[in-house]
């Protein structure tokens, strides 16, 4: 199968930048009209018509693309089934006719890779090859995507943007919470998280709470309790404490389904942020906040820029 241009663009970004906590621009910095944002926001299934159900309830091996503008200012999530999510900050976006050009954020908050998307109402997108001289004619290499989920804001409705960014950075890269180890500096803990030979020995968590469709917690070292479990709500207890409601996956749902099954149960996690550590009493552990990529490694990231607990 031909490699879509958007995949090449994302691969270029993640193969280039290192472990630096970049922050995507504020919403006001993206001059895209609200109706276009409303059309893009949500989840899109690539090269396959949805089966009439939510993306989170069907087993498909095709990638999904997800857009969010409301809280992050501009963010794209690339989901490769069945457990790889890649968050990418959006640097800028503009619309010309039915084509939207979105520029991903790269190192140092600078513009990096532009992609071109044709809007095909009521429920389709066409990801075009990088056009030359303004040519946006359909190509045999174009990737089509079909809407499979509208945004669901109820999961984090009561959460401020500042609190949200503690658990999930909107920047290009991944936020990991790596368990504090004896006699290890934060730098060494985060650096170890990027070493694939050592990573299986660590206990670490990754939260996705920006959404607006896939909300989850993924944990390594906690058995199957946090094995890519859907998050149903994140609520503030105070300005530095989160009440997180997680839905355990029912064995009958199968290992590949996002749908946890009708018999699954909810359980609670309490996350307490003190400005440098995240403590979760239910897991009996404290974690260092790290940011980066698996290709280039991770560095300590106590707080995103401009965010106060």
| Contact between 133 and 50 (Cβ < 8 Å) | no
| Contact between 175 and 293 (Cβ < 8 Å) | no
The pLDDT score that the predictor gives to residue 197 is: 63
The pLDDT score that the predictor gives to residue 19 is: 36
Q: Where in the chain is the domain with CATH 2.40.128?
A: 5-149
| Contact between 163 and 300 (Cβ < 8 Å) | no
| Contact between 47 and 126 (Cβ < 8 Å) | no
Report residue 237 CA to chain centroid gap. Answer: 24
- Write the Ramachandran bin of 247: left for phi over 0, alpha for psi from -120 to 50, otherwise beta: beta
* 3-61: pLDDT as tens digits: 456 666 666 666 544 333 334 444 445 779 999 999 999 999 999 888 877 888 777 88
Label the pairing between strands 277-280 and 42-46. unpaired
One digit per residue, pLDDT tens: the chain, 309 residues? Answer: 334 566 666 666 665 443 333 344 444 457 799 999 999 999 999 998 888 778 887 778 899 999 999 999 999 999 887 777 888 999 999 999 999 999 998 755 567 778 999 999 999 999 997 654 444 455 556 789 999 999 999 999 999 999 999 999 998 888 999 999 888 899 999 988 867 666 557 899 999 999 999 999 999 888 878 888 889 999 999 989 999 999 987 655 555 455 666 667 899 999 999 988 999 999 999 999 999 887 778 999 987 555 543
The pLDDT score that the predictor gives to residue 297 is: 84
Token pair, residue 38, equals: 């409303």
DSSP state of 224: B
Count of other CB atoms within 10 angstroms of residue 282: 13
**Which CATH number fits the domain 5-149, given the four candidates 3.40.1800, 2.40.160, 2.60.40, 2.40.128?**
2.40.128
The pLDDT score that the predictor gives to residue 54 is: 84
Question: 3-class SS at 20?
Answer: coil
- Considering only the C-alpha atoms of the chain, give the largest distance between any 2 of them, rounded to a whole number of Å: 59
| Single pTM value for the model | 0.85
- Nearest Cα to Cα of residue 143 among 154, 124, 128, 164: 128
* 245-270: pLDDT as tens digits: 999 876 555 554 556 666 678 999 99
R_g of the chain computed on alpha carbons: 19
């Amino acid at each position: 199968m031909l490699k879509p241009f958007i995949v090449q663009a994302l691969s270029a970004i993640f193969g280039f930048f290192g472990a630096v906590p970049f922050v995507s621009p504020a919403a006001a910095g993206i001059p895209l009209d609200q109706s276009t944002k409303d059309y893009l926001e949500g989840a899109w299934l690539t090269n396959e018509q949805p089966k009439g159900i939510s993306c989170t309830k069907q087993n498909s091996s095709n990638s999904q693309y997800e857009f969010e503008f409301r809280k992050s200012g501009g963010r794209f999530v690339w989901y490769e089934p069945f457990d790889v999510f890649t968050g990418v900050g959006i640097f800028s976006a503009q619309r010309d006719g039915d084509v939207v050009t979105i520029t991903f954020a790269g190192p140092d908050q600078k513009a990096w890779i532009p992609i071109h998307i044709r809007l095909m109402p009521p429920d389709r997108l066409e990801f075009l090859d990088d056009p030359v001289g303004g040519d946006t004619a359909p190509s045999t290499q174009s990737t089509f995507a079909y809407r499979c989920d509208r945004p669901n804001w109820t999961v984090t409705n009561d959460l401020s943007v500042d609190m949200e960014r503690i658990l999930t950075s909107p920047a290009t890269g991944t936020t990991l919470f790596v368990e504090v180890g004896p006699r290890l500096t934060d730098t060494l803990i985060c650096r170890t998280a990027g070493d694939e030979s050592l990573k299986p020995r660590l206990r670490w968590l990754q939260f996705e709470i920006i959404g607006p469709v896939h909300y989850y917690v993924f944990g390594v070292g906690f058995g199957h309790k946090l094995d890519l479990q859907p998050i149903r709500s994140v609520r503030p207890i105070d300005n530095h404490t989160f009440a997180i409601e997680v839905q355990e996956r029912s064995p009958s749902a199968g290992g590949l389904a996002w749908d946890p099954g009708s018999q699954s149960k909810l359980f609670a996690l309490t996350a307490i942020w003190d400005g440098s550590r995240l403590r979760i009493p239910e897991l009996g552990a404290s974690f260092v906040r790290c940011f980066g990529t698996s290709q280039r490694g991770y560095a300590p990231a106590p707080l995103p820029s401009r965010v106060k607990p």
